Amino acid sequence: MFSIHAPKMPTPADALPGRAEPMPVPPAHHVNGRSLVPPYPDGLEIAEFALGCFWGEEKLFWQVPGVWVTAVGYQGGYTPNPTYREVCTGKTGHAETVRVVFDPREVTYDELLSKFWEAHDPTQGMRQGNDVGTQYRSAIFVHGEKQRAAAEASRAMYQERLSAAGFGQIATEIVEAPPFFFAEDYHQQYLAKNPAGYCPDHSTGVSCPIGLGITNRAETRVEARP
């Protein structure tokens, strides 16, 4: 049952205090063995997306060719180094977020945006299906003006597609990337560790076109990194 009170963001004054110590991060990605934490290899870029429960969404992105590594964490709130339990109270302001480290010579930011839009319902506000709360809101945390321009262009284009299909207005926020706080070890690559784990599908079934002309894959492909 949904609460009669719609979730709302806390104020900085009301947010939980958190802590100075960062969350311990596993030494390697459970699927590909690469480091979850920076520094990342030269030439790679970071994309960060919030689109509901981060377990299934991380799996979506680690399967994309050209993605170097993925990690899940908390972003967009006020509490430093929050725990999962704290985020679930709605008193940290954070969204469950997937960090996607990618090689732009292998996969474009536009292609990742298309995956983002198609994997959830961006019109639902502070929820995805039965997952209700500030941590389930839709957001794109951009790194630089080029990503912002691409994200805003794709949002406008996808709104046209959604409106034509009878959906409402997109609620996705697009903001400069705030600090990314890594989630606990057991959340990282959760569905690789728990293949039968919780993985709801909240997609709208509306496709998102690729090729907005803002980010482009280099013509010359690089050799696969080890």
Residue pair 198/128 in contact by the 8 Å Cβ criterion: no
Handedness of CA 156, 78, 75, 89 (dihedral sign): negative
For this structure, is 88 an active site residue? no
Cα–Cα distance measured from residue 55 to residue 59, given in angstroms and rounded to the nearest whole number: 7
Cα–Cα distance measured from residue 71 to residue 47, given in angstroms and rounded to the nearest whole number: 11
Q: For the residues of 75-111, what is the DSSP string, one character each?
A: ESSS-SS--HHHHHTT-S--EEEEEEEE-TTTS-HHH
Residues designated as active site: 53
